[in-house]
Amino acid sequence: MKIGMVCYPTYGGSGVVATELGLHLARRGHQVHFISYAQPMRLDRFQDNVFFHEVESPTYPLLEFNLYSLALAGKIVDVAKYELLDVVHVHYAIPHAISGYLASQILSKTSPFKLVTTLHGTDITLVGLEPTYHPLVRFSLEKSDAVTAVSSFLAERTVQNFGNNIDIQVIPNFIDADVYKPTPCTEIQRKICQEGERVLVHVSNFRPVKRVIDCVHILAEVRKSMPARLVFVGDGPDRGEAERACREMGVADHVLFLGKQHALPEILSSADIFLLPSQQESFGLSALEAMACGVPVVGTNIGGIGEVVQHGETGYLAELGDVQRMAKYCVDLLSSSKKHAAFKTAARVRAVENFGVNRIVPAYEQLYASVLGKN
């Protein structure tokens, strides 16, 4: 098949999943054409069957605002027409689904393709609910040939917000268990912690919904019981506030801000617990990546996190903002080497068996075949 993959190129979960999906589809013999305004950050090396098409938005004095959605539709038309795409798979509803639909209508008589839309979270639970965008999102979902969501939670929320006439298939996010795996790295361990310290890690884009300050509170509580260090990976608007909180709580010497990193498997493998105290998560891809590296998760029982993390087996889940309980769960896990080892093993097994690439990517292949009438 020839597949167009439309996504945001940034560090967000939707871009990561779209890029990894496209790369794995290419390895399985499909031709994949990425369409975005910049090269996806994980599209960082040559691979056969993978092509990138950059969307350029012309600027004119009359057009005060960037018309990216129209430029994207035009680029999809161009790629679909000349590359003879079978499927255009858009990730994140705003504005990709609308642009994809517009392109499909333009080419309906000459170079038709099937439109698949995957919902990732805030495109439905936040941005898509804006009164300006709501009817557009609903229309684009109704007109897509197939709609998927990354969790049952998100599928249910979509039906609640946009109507029960939208057929949604749940295909969860996935990990490559050959990349995300326990990786002994004593050099990184020496860099990030002192001898005898237990390591808590948090990876995110530091948006307010990630509640990174809660991670600092959790560390402060854990340190009342044992030596511990907190490692932050990523960057974003709340980083400055997190740094101030570390100083105010007197734990700045025990917190390490690494910024954006590519060596995630090695960093995660050096951690004892992954923290995910988010206010909103439709899936929790970062938690899955940690589990694949054999790291138990302590986080909030919010959204789709509970579909990834099994409470009492691969980690612990608490109510939103309950940093005391989350800290208690951390201490409980770290105080028993036997329990911690059991959780580490269970986390890895669940990640591989339920969310491995060899289980999830074929589900997308079957979906494409279905909309193309090949099943």
Distance CA 49, CA 2 (A): 9
Distance CA 179, CA 192 (A): 21
Give yes or no: residues 151 and 278 share one domain: no
Q: Which domain, by its residues, includes 34?
A: 2-174+356-371
3-state SS assignment for residue 11: coil
Q: What local confidence, expressed as pLDDT, does residue 119 receive?
A: 93
Place of tokens 């491995």: 356
Of 264, 268, 203, the C-alpha closest to 239 is 203
Q: Measure the CA dihedral 165/166/170/176, to 10°.
A: 180
In a domain, 181, yes or no: no
Q: What local confidence, expressed as pLDDT, does residue 50 receive?
A: 93
Distance CA 331, CA 220 (A): 12
Please name the amino acid found at residue 335: S
Give yes or no: residues 347 and 364 share one domain: no
Place of tokens 């010497």: 253
Strands 31-36 and 50-54: parallel
Distance CA 125, CA 157 (A): 7
Give yes or no: residues 205 and 105 share one domain: no
How many domains does one find in the chain? 2
Give yes or no: residues 162 and 212 share one domain: no
DSSP string for 226-277: S-EEEEEE---TTHHHHHHHHHHTT-GGGEEE--S-S-HHHHHHT-SEEEE-
pLDDT averaged per 10 residues in sequence order, the chain, 375 residues: 92 83 95 92 82 87 79 96 97 92 96 95 76 88 95 93 89 94 76 81 92 97 95 93 95 92 88 95 93 97 94 96 97 95 97 95 96 84
In a domain, 179, yes or no: no
340: CATH: 3.40.50.2000
List the structure tokens of 125: 């639970």
Give yes or no: residues 244 and 309 share one domain: yes
Give yes or no: residues 77 and 142 share one domain: yes
Q: What local confidence, expressed as pLDDT, does residue 13 receive?
A: 77
Give yes or no: residues 240 and 281 share one domain: yes
Distance CA 214, CA 315 (A): 17
Contact 39, 308 (CB under 8 A): no
Give yes or no: residues 191 and 133 share one domain: no
Give yes or no: residues 300 and 348 share one domain: yes
Give yes or no: residues 230 and 161 share one domain: no
Q: What residues have CB less than 8 Å from 314, skipping those under 6 apart? A: 291, 296, 297, 343, 346, 347, 350
Sheet strands (E) in the chain: 2-6, 31-36, 50-54, 87-91, 114-119, 146-149, 168-170, 198-203, 228-233, 255-257, 273-276, 297-300, 315-318
Distance CA 305, CA 298 (A): 10
In a domain, 180, yes or no: no
In a domain, 265, yes or no: yes
Distance CA 175, CA 152 (A): 18
Radius of gyration of the chain (CA): 21
Give yes or no: residues 105 and 209 share one domain: no
Give yes or no: residues 127 and 253 share one domain: no
